[in-house]
Amino acid sequence: VSVLYWRMIPGAWNPGLPSEDGRPKFTSITGLDVRPRRHGFELPLDTWQIWGWWSIVAIFVMYFCVTGPMLPNHAAAFSVTAVMASIGTIVIAMKIIMSILPNEDLQTHGPQLPAATLRDTSLAPTGASMCSYCRRWTDRSSRHCAVCDKCVIGFDHHCRWLNVCVGSRNYRPFIGFVSATLASLLVVVAATAATAADCLGHVDRCRSRLRLMYGEASIEAYLVFAFVLLAYTLCGVGVIGHLWCYHMWLIATGRTTYSHIQEQRERKRAERERQRLAPGENTPPGCCAEVKRRDFKAENRSRTAENAPFS
């Protein structure tokens, strides 16, 4: 799908300038090269993206090798393993789809505009704003991502686990991916905890099952693997669960990650301004803080406020 979209469909991305390696290439207003990321698998890969793929593979392999075969009865083993296989397929498919799903502002597919046209705000279409990097009119909700180097409509955040930006065009698949991942982790936690508890409570039955499945009967070794899987998966539940709850809160309050971060910055800026105007209420420095005899920033702000010349 990615190759078809970027390589074989004429006009899928109009770079405006030829590129030696075939990648889209723009020129910003200041003359800098702008090379938008086409998909999440384009080099360089993100460290968190690689770690995410490794974690998915490791957890599912350990489940099917450690937990699944040791479930207390055959009916439970078949049912839970079928559920895990289904959810695992969905997680991997969603992760791949999210990595190649187009998310850029479609207005950036058009030709670049002259700088003079973009600086004239009276020429801006309704609901559009100027991007000095793409040199195009873009949707007012779009933001130019510094990592992907392109404008993303309805920008929410850049996801390092997927190495792509999340915006209005791919936000629902993103929520589906996070939900499926959280569901798979919860199933692994429940199944692993059940098998570990069963082995601790029925040592002889567990030993015979281990000998039948693996030719060995070391309950201690099995429990080590089970508790490692349980601990690692619980960490994943904490991270993904927090992410899922956060985005549910964003959806309920009509926010995006970007707008929430902007609100936090504005509150911090207002708090700093309040403290600047009320010196007596400033928070005292910590024991390891550097104590300055003169605050140049505060003095410069004071001079500016008084319209006094700076010397």
Say if residues 190 and 79 touch (Cβ distance below 8 Å): no
159, 165, 199, 206: the catalytic one is: 159
Encoded tokens for 60: 């599912």
- Residue length of the chain: 311
Return the amino acid letter for 112: Q
Pairwise CA distance, residues 29 & 129, whole Å: 15
> What b/e sequence results for 115-132 when a residue is b if at least 16 CB atoms lie within 10 Å of its CB, and e otherwise?
eeebeeeeeeeeebbbbe
- Strands of 14-170 (E only): list them: 26-27, 33-34, 128-131, 136-139, 143-145, 150-152, 157-159, 164-166
From the list 150, 149, 146, the residue with the least C-alpha distance to 107 is 150
Q: Which residues contact 104 (CB under 8 A, 6 or more apart)?
A: 36, 150, 151, 152, 153
Encoded tokens for 230: 């349980």
From the list 143, 138, 137, 135, the residue with the least C-alpha distance to 115 is 135
Q: What are phi and psi of 165, to 5 degrees?
A: -85, 145
Q: Which residues contact 232 (CB under 8 A, 6 or more apart)?
A: 55, 58, 59
Active site residue 159: yes
Helical residues (DSSP H) of 202-287, grouped into ranges: 203-214, 219-253, 257-277
Q: Is the peptide bond before 24 cis (omega within 30 degrees of 0)?
A: no
Say if residues 157 and 165 touch (Cβ distance below 8 Å): yes
Which residues are catalytically annotated? 159
